[in-house]
Structure 1
Amino acid sequence: MRKVLRVAVAAVALAVLGGSAQAAGDAEKGKADFTTALCATCHQIGPGAKTLVGPELNGIVGRKAASVADYPSYSAGMKKLGEEGYVWTEENIDKWIANPKALIPDSLMSLTFPGVPDANTRADIIAYLATNK
């Protein structure tokens, strides 16, 4: 019985650790994915980043929603999230870029961006975003 329990615990640990490693993403791949997933069409990130069609994304991980002062075009839904204290954690960014329409149907991004269906690509993009404080 103990052996079965140890094997089960080891299997769960491997699954959790394997999932965490995958979820961490590859920032170098994410930098390229940021462009090919069309993020760079509307957003800038890095030194000298400016607000374009969408807000600049420096420091997005951990930032409160709708909090870029010089971005005038937040939708009502995004403003409401910000007022409620919604924070762009890695998990929340993942949900957002997977399917923006599911979170805020009225945002410009929801209307123009279909989302990134591949979980690995999203993890890589998020890893890249996290490197830009």
Structure 2
Amino acid sequence: MMKTSLVLAAAVLALSAAGAHAEGDAAAGEKAFRKCAACHAVGPDAKNKVGPVLNGLLGSVIGKHPEDYKFSPALVEKGDAGETWNDENLAAWLKNPKEFAKGTKMAFAGLKKDDEIADIIAYLKTFPEK
């Protein structure tokens, strides 16, 4: 009986930890975002670079935010179809931009680690608006 309780407790703890990390760690995401910072900016004084400002990205229409950035037709088409930057779409984009939006002008090859992707998404959620 004791052994069953310990196994069950360990399983619950493991699932809790996995679920918590699936949400991402914003502090780890801040470090991982350095890979993005050459082309993108966040924060109150952020300006478009080669890529758009990423403040307020989550929940926005793909290829439309910020309005003062010229997006590739591949992203504009996704937005015209009603797609938004939710966790799932952003994770797919960060993993492989060219697969997510064939014809995108983004040159970045993508991130391989799912944990790193989740962390960057958590970090971007800390910048809801400019």
Q: TM-score range by the shorter chain?
A: 0.7 to 0.9
Residue of structure 2 in register with 1:81 after alignment: 78
**Gaps spanning 5+ residues in structure 1: where?**
1-6
1:115 and 2:110 aligned: yes
Question: How many residues align structurally?
Answer: 121
| Among 95, 104, 115, the residue aligned to 1:98 | 95
1:127 and 2:116 aligned: no
**Gaps spanning 5+ residues in structure 2: where?**
1-6
SS in 2 for 1:42: coil
Opposite residue 127 of structure 2, the aligned amino acid is N
C-alpha RMSD of the superposition:
2.0
Overall identity of the aligned pairs, in %: 41
Give the CA deviation at 1:101: 1.1
Runs of 4+ aligned structure 1 residues displaced above 6 Å come to none
| Among 69, 72, 81, the residue aligned to 1:71 | 69
Normalized per residue, which structure has more helix? 1
CA distance, structure 2, for counterparts of residue 15 and residue 91 of structure 1: 23
SS in 1 for 2:38: helix
* TM-score, with structure 2 as normaliser: 0.83
Residue of structure 2 in register with 1:26 after alignment: 25
Give the CA deviation at 1:103: 1.0
* TM-score, with structure 1 as normaliser: 0.82
Opposite residue 18 of structure 2, the aligned amino acid is G
